[in-house]
Structure 1
Amino acid sequence: MARRPAKVRKTKAENCTKVVKSKYRKITDLPPELLHMIFEYFKDERRTMKTCAATCLVLREVAVEYLEYPRPRIYENLDHFMTFMGRHRKPPTTVQSLRLSSVALNASLLNEIKGLFPKLTYLTLLDISFIPPLPYHRPLPESLMQVENLRLESTRRGGWSLRGMMHIISFFAPKVLTINLGGCEGLRDKFDPRCLAGSPAVQELCVFSSDIPRRSSADVLDALSRTLAPEILKRVIVYYDSGATVRALGALFARVGSNVTSLYLRPCSIPWEPAKKQKWSDPFDDWQLIDISASKKLETFYLHIYVKRKENLKSRRAVCYAAAGLLANYASPTLREVTIDLHDLERPTTLGNRVVLKLQEFDKVVTAVRFPNLQKFELNVGVSDELYRKRHHEQKCREAALRALPGLHARNVLSIKIKRS
């Protein structure tokens, strides 16, 4: 009988490494202080920080402190945005441009915006609802907020009120103010100076109207003339929709425009269809509509002129009548640059026509005696598509313009540019 092999004696393992269970097994288990130390190392890597912020709520609360929000855009949900910004310390300090659309503002929200965003320089408000209570008690000047650029827009019916608009302008006191009334069908109230928070020192004003004549543009310009600080305004750009808007601009010049140096005037968008275009008439058809004589430092003047056919003229006045009359009677002798922008010229011979265009009036009005500081008279001739396709149209237009303005050409201040309308 065979002998069994002896059993191997089991030996006990000695000096084995014990597995130590750590308390922190995930990065999300780290305290916020350590997470801040980690994110401080990656703060210049924007993509990494965005990825961390999108991972989970724990990392997001720390990662957002190292993200920048230079140009946030908020539509309707303003409360959530303000709550988020108020909960964090660094993100609000990175906001430089803010756009709010279709939200309701009040005095407390305006103060909250002022306190949260110390570096805000560009503010856009679209279809905002805000009506300040009356009587309104003006705050101290130091409690107001100054931004570089404020843009107010309207794209639909309702929303803006005239008092709310002027209060916001006076509260933020911008240097550059742009108002676009393209979709405004009417403001719901009348201006009341008691709604103002101050007299904003606006240096540049741009007002854009819609292509449909409404009273809104004239009301806004009239309210601005009683809102803006006098003797501060330097540059004015207005797209007018009616004669009332042009007259309101004259009132603005009389009240606050004594130091305006640049004026740009042009009508709202002209219809594209040839039939409607020829029936369209420029609301600025009389130089007496706007008195700019209050501006004693005017240096730059720009005016857009649409050239109509002779058979479509509703009056005996030539197309250049209003512009030439404005320069002859109201413009300051300090003028240095005049730009006349002609559009839809169909024939080069029209430039010499003394019935339809009467370009020669500028040669009589803009003289060395009347404007001794004039350095440039620029004539931009926009030709129609049909004329643009003809050979030598540019040369013929240039020669016709030179024949119509020999005096300005002799003074070596005439500049002629031929372009497609």
Structure 2
Amino acid sequence: MSKRFSFHYAWIVLIVTFFTLIVAAGVRSMPGILIVPLEKEFGWDRSAISFAISVNLLLYGLVGPFAAGLMNRFGVKRIMVFALGLLISGILLTTIMRTNWQLVVLWGVMVGFGSGMAALVLGATVVNRWFVSHRGLLMGILTASTATGQIIFLPFLASLTEQEGWRNAVYAVASILGILLPTVFFLMKDSPKQSGLLPYGAKSEEEGILPVSGNPFTEAINALKVGLRSRNFWLLAGSFFVCGASTNGLVGTHLVPACSDHGIPEVRAAGLLALMGIFDLIGTVGSGWLSDRVNNKILLFMYYGLRGISLLLLPQAFDPESNKLSIFAVFYGLDWIATVPPTVALTAKIFGREKVGLMFGWVVAFHQIGAAVAAFGAGYIRTVQGEYDLAFIFAGALCVITALGIFAVSTEKEEAKLSETPEFAS
């Protein structure tokens, strides 16, 4: 076989990473399904349950930059195996919990840490370490794994919860994680160099990105110091704060219980999230393809603007006899996490591809801070007002403002500053 058509191990690494992200997405999709059953069984109010979910979402984001440093120091495979083990332990122990603080510790802390290590930072690290060509498209594919996880898990878990109880849904997810863990252990590789390869598409050693071997916590803190001095970082992090608030925190966590408030069964509501996942898969892969070809700021302007309009109109869509929610699911699904590929591309352009895992990790941290704020805030609004309308309208307005603000990002200026930044010196 000619060299041109020889198989590259980067594709195995990509596939293993994709399935890891799918299953991690399945774990993260569960809170929306569990809110109502936990209310019924334990008598906890929605704001109390939402607090545990907000802790989960917050830690999911904050662990990202440290996970990137740990991957650089100890290897991607070891961190993936540790993350999967933590997820299995955390979700299994929830089946024997009795108090709300246990939900916070198990689902909030343990699952939050585990899912944060198997998230978008993992995808960004793998793509930028193993590939030189098609990075935007491949980042789009890995990002779309979240959508695929929703498609696969949400209807199944909602149906299982309804028919067999929420504990059996948890056991099912733990079993899948148990199958995935040895797969990662035997097939995952840390870097092309470990296999005696160049990154896919590289023509010389210089094009490859070598893992950094410094202290992972120092690396993460230094990356944050660089970010806090950067106007562009604040703009990207701020936009991702709104992205997390309007997706994972609000719609991902509260759409199912909001549908329940309007007499729409949980299985049908979970089906709407799965429908979003189908179109998110299309939208995010398409966004990855576009991010290699179109001005990334224009893409982000379109994504946030359209998302904001759809959220402003959402309170009028909760009619069990109409198709408005299905239309919302299609429209919102195309836009769900389409923001990720252009944001990764801008982060890489501003801070350099060798640092993209660390810097994007902090951008994702703000994404999850936004998600945590919205998860708790929307639950609180629902507890106080008895409905979610104000939460949807406020999130929609923030998206519209973010769409306009994204044009303030300036990549050319930032690159000049970073060349003199001691923390990021080669």
Instruction: Please identify which structure carries the higher strand content.
Output: 1
Higher relative contact order (CA 8 A, sep 6+): 2
The bucket for the TM-score relative to the shorter chain is under 0.3
Instruction: Please identify which structure carries the higher helix content.
Output: 2
TM-score scaled by length of structure 1: 0.23
TM-score scaled by length of structure 2: 0.23
